[in-house]
């Protein structure tokens, strides 16, 4: 269990739930006034409020202490700053926030806040206000500020944060405000648009993966495949026909026969790979589930560096047809799918095999990333093999005992993935 969740136990996890709470009667009565108060004061102002509260407690004994006088001074100073606050509110100011749409778990994400002053007077001491982050996010750099923004000028403020949990994230608008003289209160703020981003899983460092790789005949080939490896194997030389590329002319045969000839290539054979990710949630903890997802990302990344085509990604019992590799598709496409994986139901080998059957004819090999080794998974493996598809099983577990079929099943420890070790599987 990730205990960081308890830091935000009263804050809903998703954007929709937070919006629902904010628009509810409870949110309007409690959340909005509380956020308004916290956003009105600078860090120095909040520290002074805490000091005033302590002075107020001590000032209850007015006969023996003078704490009530200190409380009166602090309260008067804060009230005076709040009264002059409207005179310093931001006018004709545009705020925009920019950030990459995708970031990996535990990687720093840089957010750029652009403040444009369209008003007739300069802005002094502009500070940023940040939304309350989800439980899995935290800021990794100090709060930036701009000392001076001239009329018609812009200021770019940058701050970084990271997330420890993959998935879709939605950040509330980011506000900016200029400091009222005294440094305790921020004038009324201007806000940017919302930010949406996707936190993708950590990619396991798979350096090698031994698989029973075969090649399947693909009628018509794959027209967009890059011309590497066997995709452009020289098959024969034949007489020139109108429309043939001139770069394929074969000079030696032309010179020997006196008739123009061209080289003919073979593009019809490809190694096609499928990856199956087990998502059954009631057999393992969150650490092992996340390790399995990272391993799946690492396996996909390993195949994209070679000449195979990644044709299929199976998450639980959801089939995602892909075409990644050899200049086709995008690895990010698969990462986006893995980023939103939810814990699944127990594996049903009959149903999964029926859904896999239409794809098995063109697959060269299938990599199964499993969380458990039991009878349903053994039956699924055997039925796939019976269809002539080579399989490799990677079992993500903390247990030291291997499965019975040790020649096919390889145990991968979650700590190997978490520590970013080089995996030679």
Q: Which residues contact 121 (CB under 8 A, 6 or more apart)?
A: 151
Structure token pair of residue 93: 């100011």
Give domain status of residue 63, yes or no.
Answer: no
Same domain flag for 275 and 413:
yes
* Per-residue pLDDT at 277: 93
Q: Count of domains in the chain?
A: 3
Higher pLDDT, 174 or 38: 174
* Per-residue pLDDT at 187: 82
Same domain flag for 260 and 282:
no
Mean pLDDT, residues 95-99 taken together: 91
Same domain flag for 392 and 349:
yes
Q: What is the DSSP string of 34-45?
A: HHHHHHHB-HHH
* Per-residue pLDDT at 219: 41
Same domain flag for 254 and 341:
no
Residue-averaged pLDDT of the chain: 82
CATH of the domain at 399: 3.40.50.410
Give domain status of residue 172, yes or no.
Answer: yes
CATH of the domain at 119: 2.60.40.10
Lowest mean pLDDT among 109-118, 223-232, 244-253, 362-371: 223-232
Please check whether residue 241 is in contact with residue 264, taking contact to mean a CB–CB distance below 8 angstroms: no
The model's confidence at residue 25, banded by pLDDT at 50, 70 and 90, is confident
Give domain status of residue 71, yes or no.
Answer: no
Same domain flag for 98 and 196:
yes
Give domain status of residue 229, yes or no.
Answer: no
Please check whether residue 288 is in contact with residue 329, taking contact to mean a CB–CB distance below 8 angstroms: no
Same domain flag for 274 and 406:
yes
Same domain flag for 280 and 420:
yes
Give residue-wise pLDDT tens across range 161-193: 999 889 888 888 888 888 888 888 888 778 888
Give residue-wise pLDDT tens across range 201-256: 999 999 988 887 554 544 444 433 434 444 455 667 889 888 888 888 888 888 88
Mean pLDDT, residues 356-376 taken together: 89
Same domain flag for 295 and 321:
yes
Same domain flag for 337 and 402:
yes
Same domain flag for 379 and 300:
yes
Give domain status of residue 22, yes or no.
Answer: no
Residue 55: C-alpha distances to residues 69, 79, 350 (Å): 8, 16, 71
* Per-residue pLDDT at 205: 92
Q: Using CA atoms, how far apart are residues 91 and 113, in angstroms rounded to an integer?
A: 17
Give domain status of residue 97, yes or no.
Answer: yes
Q: Which helix (H) or strand (E) holds 198?
A: strand 195-200
Higher pLDDT, 339 or 407: 339
Mean pLDDT, residues 42-68 taken together: 84
Supply the range of the domain harboring residue 375.
206-214+270-424
Q: Using CA atoms, how far apart are residues 184 and 414, in angstroms rounded to an integer?
A: 49
Same domain flag for 239 and 285:
no
Mean pLDDT, residues 53-71 taken together: 82
Give domain status of residue 41, yes or no.
Answer: no
Give domain status of residue 327, yes or no.
Answer: yes
Same domain flag for 183 and 259:
no
């Amino acid at each position: 269990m990730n205990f960081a969740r308890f830091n935000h136990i009263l804050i809903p996890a998703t954007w929709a739930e937070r919006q629902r709470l904010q628009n509810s009667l409870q949110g309007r009565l409690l959340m909005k006034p509380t956020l308004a108060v916290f956003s009105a004061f600078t860090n120095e102002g909040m520290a002074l409020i805490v000091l005033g509260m302590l002075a107020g407690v001590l000032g209850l004994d007015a006969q023996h202490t003078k704490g009530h006088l200190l409380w009166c001074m602090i309260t008067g100073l804060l009230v005076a700053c709040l009264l002059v606050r409207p005179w310093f509110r931001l006018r004709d100011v545009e705020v925009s926030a920019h950030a990459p749409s995708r970031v990996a778990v535990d990687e720093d994400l840089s957010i750029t806040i652009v403040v444009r002053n369209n008003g007739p007077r300069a802005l002094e001491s502009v500070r940023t206000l940040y939304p309350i982050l989800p439980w899995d996010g935290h800021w990794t750099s100090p709060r930036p500020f701009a000392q001076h923004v001239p009329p018609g000028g812009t200021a770019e403020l940058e701050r970084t944060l990271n997330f420890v949990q993959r998935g879709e994230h939605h950040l509330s608008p980011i506000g900016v405000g200029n400091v009222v003289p005294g440094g305790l209160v921020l004038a009324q703020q201007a806000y940017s648009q919302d930010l949406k981003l996707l936190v993708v899983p950590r990619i396991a460092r798979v350096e090698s993966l031994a698989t029973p790789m075969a090649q399947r005949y693909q009628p018509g080939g794959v027209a967009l495949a890059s011309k590497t490896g066997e995709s452009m194997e020289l098959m024969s030389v034949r007489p020139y026909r109108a429309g043939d590329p001139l770069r394929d002319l074969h000079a030696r045969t032309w010179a020997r026969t006196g008739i123009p000839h061209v080289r003919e290539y073979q593009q019809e054979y490809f190694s096609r790979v499928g990856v199956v990710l087990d998502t059954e949630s009631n057999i393992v903890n969150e650490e092992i589930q996340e390790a399995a997802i990272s391993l799946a990302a690492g396996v996909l990344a390993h195949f994209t560096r070679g000449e195979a085509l990644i044709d299929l990604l199976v998450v639980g019992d959801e089939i995602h047809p892909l075409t990644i590799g050899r200049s086709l598709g995008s690895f990010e496409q698969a990462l986006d799918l893995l980023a939103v994986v939810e814990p699944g139901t127990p594996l049903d080998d009959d149903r999964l095999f029926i859904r896999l059957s239409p794809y098995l004819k063109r697959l060269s090999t299938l990599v199964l990333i499993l969380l458990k080794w039991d009878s349903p998974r053994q039956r699924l493996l055997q039925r796939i093999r019976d269809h002539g598809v080579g399989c490799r099983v990677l079992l993500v577990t903390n247990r030291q005992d291997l499965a019975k079929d040790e020649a096919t099943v390889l145990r991968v420890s979650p700590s190997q993935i978490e520590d970013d070790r080089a995996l030679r599987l």
